[in-house]
Amino acid sequence: MSNLGKFTQTADWRKEKHVPVIEEIGQPQKGETFALRLSIGKEIAHPHTTEHHIRFIKLFFQPEEEKFTVHLGTYHFEAHGESVEGPNEGSAKCEPAVTTNITLEKPGTLLALSYCNIHGLWENSREITFSS
C-alpha cells in the first residue's frame, strides 16, 4: 500500500503552478542518451522570492516489470534573491528548471517531485516508451 499520496499533491501542470513538468527532448531509444527537461511554472509562473520559492526537483525512474525504483537525480535551486541588502535584493536567482541527460535500458515511468517552501511536495509522472 502506497503512502506517497499522503505526502504529495498532484494536478494538471497547465492549471497548477507547483506541478513539475517532465519533457523529453527528442524520442527516447533503448540504451541511447537523451535530454530531459524538468521545470516548474511552464504555463503559470510560480513566485520566486526569498520568502516563497521552489527548493528542489527530484527525479526517479520505475523500470517496467522491476520492483525497485532508481533515483536519477536531485536538482537544488539555492539562490532566491537573498542578499546582505535584504530579502529579494540579491543580484542573482536560479530558476526552477533543469535539463539533464539520461539513458534508459527499459521503458518505464519517470516520477518527478518538486518542493515549494510554502506549499510542500508535488508530483508528476510520465511514461517513457521506445519507438521501434
Q: Per residue, what are the HEC states of 25-51?
A: ECCCCCCCCEEEEEECCCCCCCCCCCC
* Residue 81-120 contact track with Fe ion, rule CB under 5 A, x = bound: -----------------------------------x-xx-
Q: Does the active-site annotation cover 116?
A: yes
Give the DSSP H or E segment for 110.
strand 108-116
Contact 102, 33 (CB under 8 A): yes
16 binds Fe ion (CB under 5 A): no
Closer of 60 and 122 to Fe ion (Cβ): 122
Q: Does the active-site annotation cover 119?
A: yes
Closer of 1 and 118 to Fe ion (Cβ): 118
Question: Over the Cα atoms of the chain, what is R_g?
Answer: 16
Backbone φ and ψ for 88, nearest 5 degrees, come out as: 65, 15
Q: Does the active-site annotation cover 16?
A: yes
57 binds Fe ion (CB under 5 A): no
Nearest approach, Cβ of 15 to Fe ion (angstroms)? 14
